[in-house]
Structure 1
Amino acid sequence: MKQYTVYKGEKLLAMGTSYQCAQQMGVTAKYIVWLTMPTAKRRLAKRKNPDKATVCDVID
């Protein structure tokens, strides 16, 4: 099972499976998985303040 870490800037918001992270943040598990997709990464790069964006990484 994949493990995820979710950050907003330097602050760690959640860590665990997509379901666990979603429960901690009050969002869906699909949203956590979507944050790891290339589309989300491209949108992050286009933001004016990417340091204030929510970012998710997969832990191997």
Structure 2
Amino acid sequence: MKSKEYALYRGDTLLQIGTAEELAEFKKVKRKTILFYATPSYRKRTSDKSLRTIKLLEEVEGSD
């Protein structure tokens, strides 16, 4: 099974792409913090310049 990948942004700037564990290591925070950055409640509490996590779509095999 392939790990889910996420993109970490600050505003419009892409900081890193990787698994939640890789992004947590990059920012020196817990995995659940990275996942929290993707929630609607976090977006409501913060400005557009804050960190954001976006879940990347998986490519489906055989979808020609």
TM range (shorter): 0.7 to 0.9
Query: 4+ runs of 1 displaced by more than 4 Å?
Result: none
Residue 28 of structure 1 corresponds to: 30
Q: How many residues align?
A: 55
1:55 aligns with 2:52: yes
- The sequence identity of aligned pairs, in percent, is 27
Offset at residue 42 of structure 1 (A): 1.6
Structure 2 stretches lacking a partner, 5+ long: 58-64
Residue 15 of structure 1 corresponds to: 17
Residue 43 of structure 1 corresponds to: 45
Offset at residue 10 of structure 1 (A): 2.5
User: As a proportion of its length, which structure holds more helix?
Assistant: 1
Q: Secondary structure at the match of 1:2?
A: coil
User: As a proportion of its length, which structure holds more strand?
Assistant: 1
**Comparing both chains, which one has the higher relative contact order based on Cα–Cα distances under 8 Å and sequence gaps of 6 or more?**
1
> How far, CA to CA, are the matches of 1:30 and 1:13 in structure 2?
18
TM-score, with structure 1 as normaliser: 0.77
TM-score, with structure 2 as normaliser: 0.73
Structure of greater Rg: 2
